């Protein structure tokens, strides 16, 4: 089990890195995820997918930590969760070109402005999880994943537009 | 079908494709609508940006080593994949002394396990499945897993000539989103193996080809399925060569894929 988990280490670290926004905290979170997964190995069903299972543990641990520390944390602006007007992201080829010129640090910064839920949806999608796998990680219905991802991408486009100007 | 309906389906179209009637409607609309073409271009650009930004980072090697040490300490080490020696030497030469010590410990445990297993005579279906999964994991966790990188089987197959004492088939069946990535020499139990790597969408798929003599549970040209640790393994034998196909895709999908691979390996 432990070695099978190691095969997903890079994915776990990348997701942890963007959820915590801190390399050291990400490493702690991944280590705790491994420890929790090994303790809970008996609950893992043979034939089911390991990656979503691990990511669900990681996310729940992150949420637990965040809830414990939330008095000291500032969550992102809730307004960014509002999807922009339907055509706000279609302002022409100029915007498309500007978006193509964005650098990694700007994408990271825009992603950091999203809520945990929106960030998680974006991260899991980029990591190649299917909607079913994302639903397992986020513990919601597949239909909910679809709408969350759609809203999250709209919010991210909106945040990126600030840097693309 | 209007623009709003099409825009809602753009993500599904890119991620998994749409069934023919709906897919054709979306394609037809896109071909004639500049606004939706632009929306599609923005979405694709966003995908490219995110992939270039978010997928470039790997876990720190210090974290990996720490976890490997912890697992070894907790008695999980018997599952440590035994890397090919050449890879080990590369690792050992490029890592700190501490890392080399950890790897040496892993290797020692692996050799101990091999010794304890008593060679291929004691091989069971569980051993065979576990080894196939470990080989797949070795490819996934290696920093430079492929010795030949090519998407063309006429380049990958000849590369194995002279490196193995059998001739593996390198099938590339026509399956949407299936791409050959390359190959390498590895080990399967006590014997050399051709390790061929593919990608099915974003899932890694590993084909192992090895001499099949003395190994049980390798049905002739008829893939049989088993699973371990969340990975599905299809195994079969063709022309005296054993094959194992491993991935984390759903078992039923791997079976379909294995049937196509087995059909090609039988020729």
pLDDT, tens digit (0-9, with 9 covering 90-100), for A46-68: 667 889 999 999 999 998 887 77
CB contact under 8 Å between B76 and A99, yes or no, is: no
B67 contact residues in A (CB cutoff 8 A): 2, 6, 9, 30-31, 34
| Whole-angstrom distance, CA of residue B169 vs CA of residue A152 | 45
In this complex, is the C-beta atom of B52 within 8 Å of any C-beta atom belonging to chain A? yes
**HSE toward the beta carbon, residue B67, CA cutoff 13 A:** 30
Q: Give me the residues of B, 19-38, that contact A with CB < 8 A.
A: 35, 38
Q: Are B135 and B193 in contact (CB under 8 A)?
A: yes
Query: Model pTM?
Result: 0.53
Picking from B49, B137, B141, the nearest residue to A107 by CB comes out as B49
Contact B54 A10 (CB under 8 A): no
* Residue A92 β-bridge partners: none
Tokens encoding B116: 């304890």
Cβ within 8 Å, pair A96-B4: no
Return the HEC string of B102-115. HHHHHHHHHHHHHH
pLDDT tens by residue, chain B, 267 residues: 788 888 888 888 887 777 888 888 888 898 899 888 888 888 888 888 888 888 877 888 889 888 988 888 766 444 333 333 232 233 333 333 333 334 334 333 333 333 333 334 456 788 888 889 888 887 777 644 688 888 888 889 989 988 888 999 999 999 988 999 999 888 787 778 899 999 998 889 999 999 988 888 899 999 999 998 888 999 999 989 999 999 999 889 999 999 999 999 887
Q: Does B137 touch chain A (CB under 8 A)?
A: yes
Q: Chain B closest CA to A73's CA: distance in Å?
A: 24
> Nearest CA of chain B to the CA of A17: how many Å?
9
Angle between helices A131-138 and A116-126 (to 10 degrees): 140
Question: Which among B243, B250, B232 is positioned nearest to B168, based on CA atoms?
Answer: B243
Q: Residue A46's closest chain B neighbor by CA? A: B230
- Residue in this structure with the two tokens 């729940």, named with its chain if needed: A60
Which residues are CB-neighbours of B265 under 8 A, at least 6 positions away? B169, B171, B221, B236, B238, B239, B241, B243
Interacting residues of B24 by C-beta distance below 8 A, sequence separation 6+: none
Bridge partner list, B244: B208, B235
Label residue B17 left, alpha or beta by phi (over 0 means left) and psi (-120 to 50 means alpha): left
d(CA B66, CA A30): 11
Contacting B residues, span 223-252, partner chain A, CB-CB under 8 Å:
227, 229-232, 248, 251
Query: B74, A38: Cβ pair inside 8 Å?
Result: yes
From chain A, pick out residues whose CB is under 8 angstroms from the CB of B30. Answer: none
Chain A residue whose CA is closest to B232 = A47
From chain A, pick out residues whose CB is under 8 angstroms from the CB of B7.
86
């Amino acid at each position: 089990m432990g070695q099978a988990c190691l095969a997903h280490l890079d994915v776990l670290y990348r997701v942890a890195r963007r959820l915590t926004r801190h390399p050291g905290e990400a490493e702690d979170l991944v280590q705790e995820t491994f420890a929790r997964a090994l303790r809970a190995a008996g609950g893992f069903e043979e034939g089911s997918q390991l990656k979503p299972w691990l990511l669900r543990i990681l996310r729940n641990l992150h949420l637990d930590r965040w809830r414990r520390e939330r008095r000291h944390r500032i969550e992102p602006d809730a307004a960014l969760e509002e999807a922009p007007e339907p055509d706000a992201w279609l302002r022409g080829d100029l915007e498309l070109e500007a978006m193509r010129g964005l650098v990694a640090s700007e994408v990271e910064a825009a992603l950091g402005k999203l809520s945990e839920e929106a960030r998680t949806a974006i991260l899991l999608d980029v990591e190649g999880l299917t909607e079913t796998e994302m639903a397992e990680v986020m513990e919601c219905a597949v239909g909910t994943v679809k709408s969350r991802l759609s809203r999250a991408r709209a919010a991210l486009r909106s945040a990126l537009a600030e840097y693309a100007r | 079908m209007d623009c709003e309906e099409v825009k809602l389906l753009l993500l599904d179209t890119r991620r998994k494709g749409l069934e023919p009637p709906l897919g054709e409607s979306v394609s037809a609309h896109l071909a004639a609508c500049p606004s939706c073409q632009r929306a599609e271009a923005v979405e694709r650009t966003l995908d490219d940006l995110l992939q270039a930004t978010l997928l470039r980072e790997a876990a720190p090697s210090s974290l990996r080593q720490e976890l490997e040490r912890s697992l070894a300490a907790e008695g999980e080490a018997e599952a440590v994949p035994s890397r090919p020696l050449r890879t080990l030497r590369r690792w050992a030469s490029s890592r700190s002394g501490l890392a080399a010590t950890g790897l040496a410990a892993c290797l020692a445990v692996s050799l101990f396990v091999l010794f304890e297993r008593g060679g291929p005579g004691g091989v069971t279906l569980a051993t065979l499945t576990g080894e196939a999964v470990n080989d797949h994991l070795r490819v996934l966790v290696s920093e430079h897993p492929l010795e030949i990188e090519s998407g063309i089987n006429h380049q990958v197959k000849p590369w194995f000539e002279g490196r193995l004492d059998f001739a593996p088939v390198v099938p590339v069946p026509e399956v949407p989103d299936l791409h050959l990535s390359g190959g390498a020499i590895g080990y399967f139990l006590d014997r050399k193996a051709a390790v061929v790597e593919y990608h099915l969408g974003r899932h890694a798929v590993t084909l192992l080809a090895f001499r099949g003599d003395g190994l049980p549970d390798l049905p002739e040209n008829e893939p049989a399925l088993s699973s371990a640790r969340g990975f599905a393994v299809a195994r079969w034998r063709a022309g005296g060569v054993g094959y194992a196909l491993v991935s984390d895709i759903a078992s039923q999908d791997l079976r379909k894929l294995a049937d196509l691979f087995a059909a090609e390996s039988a020729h």
